[in-house]
């Protein structure tokens, strides 16, 4: 089955940390998977897990890290913690950033201009690979919000709530005073107090104050996972000039992947062969039941 549609304005940003337009979310919603999503049928809208194993619950702590009740006074709450466990076995779409040789070395992480002579689109890289989605990919994306060269539209708001994100932003700005705009910076080398790795599939987000709406942010593409391999791959010299970037070629774990991006002609979403599948919900409104 093939579905055709039209669009009046080409998407400018398909990097989930910087995208904030409805015409871009048409694509992002098919490619990226934040931890949570809205139930497909239930009204009023209800949050349910997407890649998360279950809905995270807010834990309120005082300055001595003693547990508080949900109805505690705001001035008594020192931090709010959300522990998010993701489902194991989720794979990223096939992508050149993951391609490795038999010695486990990346094929395309050290490109030079001569390597790009016959490359004009992402599809011109003949080797692809994949790997499992990890909790660290979500932490990496949260750190990217503070990247001074990306200009995330929500970083100002998130700095107000996520512990240490404002200081992390200052750290990155100072680092880039001595780096070129396109130079790769591995954010795994820097610690963010408000995003902690617990284990391979579990991470914790720490807020500075009570903010119940934060769960709804976890259903938006801003909090989608980003593999460091993609960040490195797209930062290489010569790729951006060919429109080979995250803004042009997203990389996700969702049901579809963008294989052709030529807004003046067509944009093609193809089935992600690594997608694990998702069943249509069996619960909803009465009218949904009557319609089968």
Q: Which two tokens stand for residue 12?
A: 């400018």
Q: What is the pLDDT of residue 290?
A: 64
Q: Which residue has the tokens 């490619």?
A: 31
* Contact present, 158 and 207 (Cβ < 8 Å): no
Tokens of 118: 């016959």
What is the domain count for the chain? 1
Instruction: Give the pLDDT of residue 288.
Output: 65
Averaged pLDDT for residues 18-30: 91
| Locus of tokens 């914790």 | 204
Q: What's the maximum distance between 2 C-alpha atoms anywhere in the chain?
A: 63
Residue with tokens 């807020």: 207
Hey, which bits of the chain come out as E strands? 36-38, 47-49, 59-61, 67-68, 79-85, 195-199, 202-207, 256-262, 266-271
What is the arithmetic mean of pLDDT over 65-84? 96
Please state, rounded to an integer, the average pLDDT across all residues of the chain: 93
The answer to whether residue 3 is domain-embedded is no
Q: What is the dihedral of CA 12, 264, 239, 176, to 10 degrees?
A: -20
User: Is 135 a domain residue?
Assistant: yes
Burial of 29 (0-12, 13-18, 19+ CB in 10 A): middle
pLDDT tens across 235-289, in order?
999 999 999 999 999 999 999 999 999 988 899 999 999 999 887 777 766 666 6
- What is the model's pLDDT at position 277? 85
Structure tokens, 206: 């720490």
| Complete DSSP assignment for 184-212 | ---GGGS--TTEEEEETTEEEEEESS--T
The band of 11, judged by pLDDT with boundaries at 50, 70 and 90, is: confident
- Is residue 78 situated within a structural domain? yes
Amino acid 278: pLDDT = 84
Structure tokens at 30: 């098919």
pLDDT tens digits for 180-210?
Answer: 767 899 999 999 999 999 999 999 999 999 9
* pLDDT of res. 123: 96
pLDDT at 8: 73
Burial of 18: CB neighbours in 10 Å, binned 0-12, 13-18, 19+: buried
Per-residue pLDDT reduced to its tens digit, 124-170: 999 999 999 999 999 999 999 999 999 899 999 999 999 999 999 99
Letter string b/e over residues 128-153, b meaning 16 or more CB atoms within 10 A of that residue's CB: bbbeebbbbbbbbbbbbbbbbebebe
- Whether residue 136 lies inside any domain: the answer is yes
**268 belongs to a structural domain:** no
Name the residue with higher pLDDT: 109 or 5.
Answer: 109
- What is the distance of C-alpha 240 from the center of its chain? 20
Distances (CA, A) of 287 to 199, 269, 282, 284, 290: 43, 31, 13, 8, 5
pLDDT at 80 over 80: yes
Under 8 Å between Cβ of 67 and 59:
yes
Determine the pLDDT at residue 73: 95
Asked whether residue 288 is domain-assigned, the answer is no
When pLDDT is averaged across residues 109-125 and rounded to a whole number, the result is 96
Domain membership of residue 13 (yes or no) is no
- 86, 132 in Cβ contact below 8 A? no
- Using pLDDT thresholds of 50, 70 and 90, give the confidence band for residue 20: confident
Q: How far apart are CA 243 and CA 238, in angstroms?
A: 9
pLDDT band at 43 (very low <50, low <70, confident <90, very high): confident
Spatial distance between the Cα atoms of 182 and 188, rounded to a whole number of angstroms: 17
Show the domain range for 87: 22-262
For residue 76, give the CATH number of its domain: 3.90.76.10
User: Which alpha helices (H) appear in the chain, and where do they start and end?
Assistant: 22-31, 135-144, 155-161, 165-175, 214-217, 228-234, 286-290
Regarding predicted confidence, which is higher, 11 or 255?
Answer: 255
In a domain, 34, yes or no: yes
Residue 292 has pLDDT above 60, yes or no: no
Say what the pLDDT of residue 281 is.
78
**pTM, whole model, 2 decimals?**
0.94
């Amino acid at each position: 089955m093939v579905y055709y549609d039209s669009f009046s304005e080409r998407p400018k940003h398909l990097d989930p940390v910087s995208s904030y337009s409805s015409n871009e979310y048409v694509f992002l919603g098919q490619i990226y998977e934040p931890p949570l999503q809205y139930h497909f049928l239930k009204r009023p809208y209800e949050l349910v897990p997407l890649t998360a194993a279950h809905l995270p619950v807010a834990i309120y702590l005082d300055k001595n890290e003693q547990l508080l009740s949900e109805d505690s006074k705001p001035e008594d709450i020192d931090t709010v913690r959300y522990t998010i466990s993701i489902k194991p076995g989720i794979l990223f779409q096939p992508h050149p950033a993951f391609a490795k040789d038999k010695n486990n070395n990346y094929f395309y992480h050290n490109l030079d201009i001569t390597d790009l002579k016959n490359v004009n689109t992402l599809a011109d890289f003949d080797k692809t690979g994949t790997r499992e989605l990890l909790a660290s990919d979500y932490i990496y994306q949260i750190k990217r919000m503070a990247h001074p060269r990306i200009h995330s539209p929500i970083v100002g708001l998130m700095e107000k709530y996520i512990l240490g994100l404002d200081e992390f932003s200052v750290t990155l700005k100072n680092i880039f005073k001595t780096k070129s705009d396109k130079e790769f910076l591995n954010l795994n080398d820097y610690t963010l107090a408000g995003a902690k790795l617990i284990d391979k599939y579990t991470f914790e987000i720490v807020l500075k104050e009570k903010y119940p709406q934060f769960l709804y942010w976890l259903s938006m593409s801003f909090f989608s996972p980003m593999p460091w391999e993609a960040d490195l791959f797209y930062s290489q010299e010569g790729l951006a000039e060919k429109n080979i970037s995250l803004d042009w070629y997203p990389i996700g774990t969702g049901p579809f992947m963008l294989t052709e991006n030529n807004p003046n002609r067509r944009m093609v979403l193809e089935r992600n062969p690594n997608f694990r599948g998702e069943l249509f919900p069996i619960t909803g409104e009465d009218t949904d039941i009557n319609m089968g």
